Amino acid sequence: MAVKKNNSGKGLRLLFFASMALLLVAGNLHAAGPNLEYFWLALLIPIGIVAIAYMASYAFNSPALRAVLQDELLQILATGAVALTLVGTQAVVDEYVVATLNAANATATGITGAMDAAAVKINTLEQAAAGRLNNMEEVSSILGQEASRGVYCNFMGVGFSLNNCSPFNAYRGSLTAAAFSTTVALADTYAQGFILSLARAYSFSILIPLGLLLRCFKASRSAGGGLIAIGFGFYTVYPAVILATDNLLHGAAMPPSAAIPLVGKCDPRDPSVSSALSEFTSYGSQLTDYNLIYGISYQVMVRVLFLSVLNLIITLTFIRTFARMIGSDIDVSSLARIS
């Protein structure tokens, strides 16, 4: 009987210790910010359920259940430690990003952390891609207008046409292909902005709190770890990766991206074929200028398309690794192929 009372007192002390520890954790999480208002519920609900079950184990004289519940208490404490780690890491990342931007005198209005800075970065890329697409559309439209210029002559019932400007249409095919790639890049920036907005709205308010709640119980521990990893990955890691890869790629030495030059006026009444050929080849030399092509290709293909895929792959890799660390194993290979 003495041993039984000793075990009972030990279990009650463990329950009391777990309750007090999680109350402190919950208080700190609740005070950390508006995005974390559900964290304390995610931790207090499991401790309440375990406490009720622990008392019921005495009512029904089930010592085996108490042993299981003590293990669950340890997992709840571990989940509280995971929650504190997530909040602390997020605070450190936000503080570092803001301090870096302040040191570089590049802080925009309203930037309070990595999520805001990444949103500003994506918005900058979106504006650049949209401006590039508008430039291509304008050049293609003017090329079509100039290429359609012609002269029709009629002498005593015999007519003929002069279409010395029509060769300019040859450049429109390449511009169409370039505009298609730029459209894909622009859509990619929209997708990245949408992912950031979803992460801002739901990661620390739904996904991570629900994951913490599920992780406290053995039956749902794997699903909870997956939700925690997904929420934290897209809210904290994804914005940080966007900022890091873009800055590491070129820093402050990004290649200039000049506008595509407009074609000059074409005179369809000029009968000289050599003059029309000279204008055609001269404009072609402007379009194929190395600096112009390099700037456009870098901006569209590398800075937007390639980096978006790389950022998503890095984030998904982190999600899988972190989920495995906290007791879950999710397969992100199909998502990586989509990216």
Least confident of 89-103, 232-246, 293-307: 89-103
Strand segments (E) across 60-206: 151-155, 158-162
Boundary (domain end) residue, out of 33, 51, 85: 85
Q: How would residue 1 be classed by pLDDT, with cut points 50, 70 and 90?
A: very low
Find the radius of gyration of the CA atoms of the chain.
Answer: 31
Q: Are residues 122 and 80 in the same domain?
A: no
Model confidence at 236: pLDDT above 60:
yes
What's the DSSP call for residue 38? T
- Residue 245 and residue 192 in contact, taking contact as beta carbons nearer than 8 Å: no
166: tokens are 């029509």
- Total domains in the chain come to 2
Work out the pLDDT band at 269, boundaries 50, 70, 90. confident
Three-state DSSP class for 187?
Answer: helix
Confidence of residue 4 (pLDDT cuts 50, 70, 90): very low
Q: ∠ at Cα 86 (83, 92), nearest 5°?
A: 140
78's tokens: 């571990």
Sequence-distant (≥ 6) Cβ neighbours of residue 188 within 8 angstroms: 304, 305, 308
Picking from 177, 182, 176, the residue whose alpha carbon sits closest to that of residue 133 is 182
For the whole prediction, is pTM greater than 0.75? yes
Torsion (CA) 22, 25, 29, 30 in degrees, nearest 10: 60
What is the residue-wise DSSP string for 109-124? TT--SHHHHHHHHHHH
Residue 139 in this model has a pLDDT that exceeds 70: yes
Same-domain pairing of 168 and 213 = yes
What pLDDT, on a 0 to 100 scale, did the predictor assign at position 31?
42
Contact 204, 235 (CB under 8 A): yes
The pLDDT confidence band at residue 5, using thresholds 50, 70 and 90, is: very low
Helix axes 63-103, 208-215, angle to 10 degrees: 150
What pLDDT does 30 receive? 45
* Secondary structure class of 53 (helix, strand, coil): helix
Model confidence pLDDT, tens digit, residues 154-208: 776 666 666 778 888 888 888 999 999 999 999 999 999 999 999 998 888 888 9
Q: Check residue 112 and give its pLDDT.
A: 80
**Span 237-248, average pLDDT:** 90
Assigned domain for 95 exists: no
For residues 319-337, average pLDDT: 74
Asked if the structure places residue 92 within a domain, the reply is no
Tell me, yes or no, whether 94 lies in a domain: no
Torsion of CA 168, 264, 138, 295, to 10 degrees: 90
Domain assignment of residue 96, yes or no: no
Range from 100-104, 131-135, 200-204 carrying the lowest mean pLDDT? 100-104
pLDDT in tens, 31-73: 444 456 777 778 888 888 888 887 887 778 777 777 787 788 8
Residues 236 and 112 in one domain: yes
| In a domain? residue 103 | no
Q: Could you list the residue range(s) of the whole structural domain that residue 36 is in?
A: 1-85
